[in-house]
Amino acid sequence: MSRHPAPASDWRQQQEKSHLAILKLMVWISLTFGRGIGRVVLYGIAAYYLLFAAAARRASRTYLGRALGRWAEWPDGFRHVLSFASTIHDRIYLLNDRFDLFDIEVVGAEALLASLQQQSGALLIGAHLGSFEVLRAVGRGRAGLKVAMLMYAENARKINATLAAINPAATEDIIELGRMDSMLLARDRLDQGYVVGMLADRDLGDDATVDCEFLGEMAPFPVGPWRMAAMLRRPVFFMAGLYLGGNRYRIHFEPLADFSATPRGEAAAAIDAAQRHYAARLAHYCRLAPYNWFNFFDFWRRER
């Protein structure tokens, strides 16, 4: 693996803008017409996005070819975008604590709960794979599991403004990354017994990255989340909230690393090992649920 500063991240210019636009549209449709009609409208949104977002379409085809192990056809691309739109749509109802609308299965929670009994707090590291909101929603609905989320500041402010209109309480446990006190706020939540989540598959543009093998080719992953995890000195679990279609989700937890007892002189090696393990498990879940990957840009940086 090689370390280098990341080139400018095009996901910040296009991905979050489109995500926010779709979220606002789906909020209006869903709150006006209900989930049933909202689900029907999703097909039109997915078709429009697939037809007119050429860069996203190319990125989807590249990724799906790797995850599926074959050439991705148009129906594959449509299903990919439809899954993305579906999770955004469902987010509205999850934020309103409408768990009765969903069939949510949890796999691997025993190890996480056992860790929380041994010490306060744990870190969840995920990706733009499926829905992180389904975990936060389940956490709000189940006693004993408190979930906070670390998000990039610009993204957090824009999306929070929309989410606050749905459920103001849903924004209380979002910690903005990039602030002087981000680390302290995360540590406070951990000391209070929270599980603190962050996504580790996108960089900020000026963040250092490490090239890890991912779906058969080297791809840059940010180092920042892992450095933070090492400094917070807590067990780290992989998390994925996979969308299975319809109203079905399956949340997976897996132990990734434990920085709570890592000697400081061995932190760099432990970070590298954890990041390689993360990339391998992320690839596993991408193959398991290929239409759940929501990075619609040149992830492997072929154009750099």
User: Under DSSP, is residue 238 helix (H, G, I), strand (E, B) or coil?
Assistant: strand
Any domain includes 298: no
User: Under DSSP, is residue 105 helix (H, G, I), strand (E, B) or coil?
Assistant: strand
Burial classification of residue 238, based on how many CB atoms lie within 10 Å of its CB (0-12 exposed, 13-18 middle, 19 or more buried): buried
Task: Read off the pTM.
Answer: 0.90
Checking if the pLDDT of 103 tops 60, the result is yes
- Cα diameter, the chain: 58
Contact 129, 293 (CB under 8 A): yes
How many whole angstroms separate alpha carbon 194 and alpha carbon 290? 30
How many whole angstroms separate alpha carbon 53 and alpha carbon 46? 10
Q: What is the mean pLDDT of residues 13-33?
A: 68
Any domain includes 302: no
Average pLDDT, the chain: 86
Q: What is the pLDDT of residues 137-176, one digit of tens each?
A: 777 666 568 899 998 756 556 666 766 677 777 677 888 8
Any domain includes 299: no
Checking if the pLDDT of 189 tops 50, the result is yes
Greater confidence (218 vs 42) lies with 218
Q: What share of the chain is helix, strand, coil (3-state, %, to 5)?
A: 55, 20, 25
Any domain includes 123: yes
Q: What is the mean pLDDT of residues 71-86?
A: 96
Q: Which pLDDT score is estimated for 178?
A: 77
Q: Which pLDDT score is estimated for 8?
A: 43
Give percent above pLDDT 70 in the chain.
85
Q: Which range has the worst mean pLDDT, 63-67, 122-126, 140-144, 295-299? A: 140-144
Which residues neighbour 96 within 8 Å (Cβ) at sequence distance 6 or greater? Answer: 166, 167
Checking if the pLDDT of 100 tops 90, the result is no
Q: Domain of 209?
A: 3-292
Mode of pairing for the β-strands spanning 217-222 and 174-177: unpaired
Checking if the pLDDT of 248 tops 50, the result is yes
Contact 127, 240 (CB under 8 A): yes
Any domain includes 113: yes
Burial classification of residue 32, based on how many CB atoms lie within 10 Å of its CB (0-12 exposed, 13-18 middle, 19 or more buried): exposed
How many whole angstroms separate alpha carbon 126 and alpha carbon 134? 13
Checking if the pLDDT of 124 tops 90, the result is yes
Under DSSP, the state recorded for 108 is S
**Alpha helix ranges (H) inside 171-302:** 182-191, 224-232, 267-288
User: Under DSSP, is residue 233 helix (H, G, I), strand (E, B) or coil?
Assistant: coil
Provide the domain count of the chain.
1
Any domain includes 163: yes
Which residues neighbour 157 within 8 Å (Cβ) at sequence distance 6 or greater? Answer: 176
251 membership: H or E segment, kind and range? strand 248-258
User: Under DSSP, is residue 138 helix (H, G, I), strand (E, B) or coil?
Assistant: helix
124 membership: H or E segment, kind and range? strand 122-126
Any domain includes 300: no
Greater confidence (60 vs 7) lies with 60
Greater confidence (73 vs 203) lies with 73
Q: What is the mean pLDDT of residues 263-267?
A: 89
Any domain includes 297: no
